[in-house]
Amino acid sequence: MLERGVIVSHETVRRWCAKSGQSYANALRRRRVQLGDKWYLDEVFIKIDGERKYLWRVIDADGTVLDILVQNRRDKAAARRFFRRLLKTTCSVPRVIVTDKLRSYARPTAR
């Protein structure tokens, strides 16, 4: 604004933020993309610097990548933390979760 010849103090900017900041944030939240109700959970083995790593990712029905986790071990506790964090950050619960149906995946339990 200074380049255009308008001088604004820090207090004026603070007042603008207090007055219209919340309504602007609410408008951004309304415009956020709605997630699909069908999520695909995929686990892939990859090599990074010659070390074997496990890449977990969750994709919704529209192809939007919701979250990614790379870890050294195939750890059940880390996978649970990953999924809990995903549910908390997306603020939505999927209708269906599709996996590749490995035998090592346990049946989901309600907790």
* Backbone φ and ψ of 42, nearest 5°: -130, 140
pLDDT, residue 36, reads 80
Burial class for 39, CB neighbours closer than 10 Å (0-12, 13-18, 19+) = buried
Instruction: Return per-residue pLDDT of the chain as tens, 111 residues.
Output: 678 888 888 888 888 888 888 888 888 777 766 778 898 888 888 999 999 998 888 888 888 888 898 988 877 787 788 888 888 888 888 888 888 776 656 665 555
pLDDT, residue 44, reads 86
Tokens found for residue 36: 């699909």
Residue 68 Cα distances to 44, 76, 94, 106, angstroms: 11, 16, 17, 20
